[in-house]
Amino acid sequence: MNVERSCDTEDKLDPRRWVALVILLVGAFLPPLDFFIVNVALPSIREDFQASASTMQLIISGYATTYAVMLITGGRLGDLYGRRNVFLSGMVGFAAASALCGFAWSPSVLIAGRVLQGFAAAIMAPQALASINAIFPDQEKSKALSFYALTFGVASMVGLFLGGALIALDIFGLGWRSIFLINLPVIAIAAPLAFFILRETRSEHPSRLDLGGALLIALALFGLIAPLIEGREQGWPVWLLLMLAASPLLFLLFWRHERHLEAAGGDPILAPSLLDVPGLKRGLIAALFFYALAAFWLVFSVYEQSGLGRTPFGAGLAILPAAVGFVLGPFASERILRVFGRHSAAVGMGLQSVGLFATAALISSGHAQFLFLALFLIGMGQGIALPNLLKSVVQRVDRRQSGLASGLVNSMLQIGGAFAVAIVGGLFFAILGSATDVTSVSKAYSIAAIAIAICLLIAGWLSVGSASNAAVHR
C-alpha cells in the first residue's frame, strides 16, 4: 500500500494548495490539449511538407503510443524521486519537445518531436493527480478532483478551437507551427511557479521501476503499429514484414518477463495476477476498443478541410459541438448512473455509435448542415462513457492496486487510439487514394465512421459483460 508523505511536513496543511492546484492542472491540461490541437492542423502540415498520409497517422500514433507505454513508469518515477521534481522535469521536457515540433524542418523531425512529447507528457501528467491526492485533505479532495476531471473535456474544446484559430491568425508567419510553440510561454510561466509553490511529496513505499517491461512493450507496439501505417505506402518491403512478424514474439517476451518479475516479488507494469480479477480483462479490452474514437478526429478534420474546403479555423468551429457535448457529458453522467448503474459506460458508447452512424448518413445524403446534432451526441456520449469506464475498471480491484489499475486503463485507451489511427486511418486513406473531391472524401469518411461506430458497439458490449460478471473488490 502506498503511503503519501510530504517532504516538508507530515501534518501541516499546505496553505498554497489551491494555487498549487492551478499549476498542477496546467500539467494535466497540456497532454490532451496537444492531442486534440494537432488534428485540426494535420492537413496544413501535410500541405507544407508535401507529406504522405502515413506521416499524418504517425504524428498522432507516435505521441499516443509513447504516452501509453510510459504512463505507469512516469507515475512510479514521481513516487520514487519526488513528484515536484519529476513534474518539473516532465514540463521542461515537454517544452523542449514542443520547440522541436514547432521548428521541425522535416516530417521525420516532427514525428521524433511528437514521440518525445509523448514521453515527457507521460512523466508530467501522472504527478498532477498524485500530488492532488497528497496535498489536499479528505474534505477538500473531492472538489479538487472535480476540477481535475474537467480538464480533459476543457482541453478537447480549447484544442479544437485554438488549433484552427492559431493557424488562421498566422502569428509571425508561423502557421501550423504555432500550435506547438504556444506551449512555450505557458510553460515559461508555469514551471517557475511550480518550482516555488509546489510542495515535494513522494510515496513511503514506492513501486520499483520495470524498465525491461516498458522497453519490451514499446518495441512490440512499435513493431505492430509502424508496419500497419507504413505498409500500404511502402509496398510492404521485407523489413516491415519482419517487424510485423517480430511483434507477437515481443509481446510474448513481455508477458513472460512480467510473470517472472511478479513471481520474484518485483513490480511489473502489468501484473498478470491483476488480470484474474473478475471482469477486469473485459474492461481493459473495452477501453482498447472505446478509444477507436481517436481516429474520428483525424478523418473528420480531413473531411472538413479536404472535402468541404474549409479553413483550419472553420474545421475547428465545425467540430466544437462534440467538444461542448464532451464537457457537458459528465454532468449528465450522475443521473444516468442512477438509472443504468454499472451499465452507464455502455449507454455513453451507444450514444457515440448513434452519433457516428448519423454523421455517415448525413454526409452520404448531402445533409452536412445538420452534423452539429450528431457531433454533440458523439461528445456527450464520450463525456458519459469515459468517467464511468474508468470508474468501473478501478472499482474492481483492491484499493492497494487502484493506482496500477488506473494506469493500465489509461494506457489501454492510448494504445487503442494509436491502433485506431493506424487501422481506421489507413482504411480511410486507402479508400481516398489521391482523390480530393467531396464525393470521394465523403465516401471514405462514412466508411471510417461506421468502422469506429462498430468498435464502440463492441466496447459497449464488453463493458456490459464486464459489469455483469464482475464483483466489486474494495
Distance CA 86, CA 75 (A): 9
pLDDT in tens, 262-282: 888 888 888 888 888 888 888
Beta bridge mates, 201: 6
Q: Answer yes or no: are the C-beta atoms of 352 and 449 closer than 8 Å.
A: no
In 3D space, the residue among 280, 248, 234 whose CA is nearest the CA of residue 392 turns out to be 280
As a whole number of angstroms, the distance between CA 404 and CA 207 comes to: 10
Provide the 8-state DSSP code for 305.
I
Task: Choose among 28, 33, 8, 2: nearest CA to 98.
Answer: 33
- Alpha carbons within 13 angstroms on the beta-carbon side of residue 352 total 34
**Contact at 8 Å (CB) between 353 and 183?**
no
What pLDDT does 472 receive?
46
Tell me the C-alpha distance between 337 and 389, whole Å: 11
Spatial contact of 119 and 74, defined as CB atoms under 8 Å apart? no
Grid cell for residue 236: 510492404
Supply 125's cell numbers. 501528467
Q: What is the pLDDT of residue 465?
A: 64
Cell output for 135 = 496535498
- Crossing angle of helices 83-102 and 183-197, rounded to 10°: 170
The CA distance from 216 to 397, in Å, is 25
Instruction: Count CB atoms within 10 A of the CB of residue 44.
Output: 19
Residue 166, phi then psi, degrees to nearest 5: -65, -40
What is the predicted pLDDT for the residue at 280? 84
* Model confidence, pTM: 0.86
- Name residue 4's beta-bridge partners: 203
Enumerate the β-bridge partners of residue 202. 5
Q: Encode the chain (474 residues) as per-residue pLDDT tens digits.
A: 454 554 444 456 778 889 999 999 999 999 999 988 998 898 899 889 988 888 888 999 899 889 988 888 888 888 888 889 999 999 999 999 999 999 999 999 999 999 999 999 999 988 888 888 888 887 887 788 778 877 887 888 888 889 889 998 888 899 999 999 999 999 999 999 999 998 888 777 777 888 899 999 999 998 899 898 888 878 888 988 999 999 999 999 999 999 999 888 888 888 888 888 888 888 899 999 999 998 998 899 989 888 888 888 888 888 889 888 888 887 777 777 777 777 888 999 999 999 999 999 999 888 888 899 999 999 999 888 888 888 777 777 766 666 677 778 888 888 998 899 999 998 999 998 877 788 899 999 999 999 999 999 999 999 886 555 554 444
- Which residues, 6 or more positions from 257, have their beta carbon under 8 angstroms from its beta carbon? 212, 213, 216, 268
Cell numbers found for residue 67:
504516452
Locate 457 and state its grid cell. Answer: 458497439
Find the helix packing angle between 211-234 and 402-432, rounded to 10°.
10
pLDDT of residue 340: 78
CA distance 33 to 87: 17
Residue 384 and residue 380: Cα distance in Å, rounded?
6
Q: In Å, how far are 93, 126, 394, 398 from 402, measured between CA atoms?
A: 28, 14, 6, 6
Residue-wise burial string across 339-351, b where 16 or more C-beta atoms lie within 10 A, e elsewhere: ebebbbbbbbbbb
For 231, other C-beta atoms within 10 Å of its C-beta total: 18
- Cβ-contact 401, 382 below 8 angstroms: no
The dihedral through the CA atoms of 203, 92, 30, 191 has a sign that is: positive
Cα separation, 252 vs 145, whole angstroms = 37
Assign residue 405 a region (left: φ > 0; alpha: ψ between -120 and 50; beta: otherwise): alpha
pLDDT score, position 473: 45
Query: Among 424, 451, 353, which Cα is nearest to 345's?
Result: 353
Other Cβ atoms within 10 Å of 187 Cβ, number: 23
Helix, coil or strand: residue 319: coil
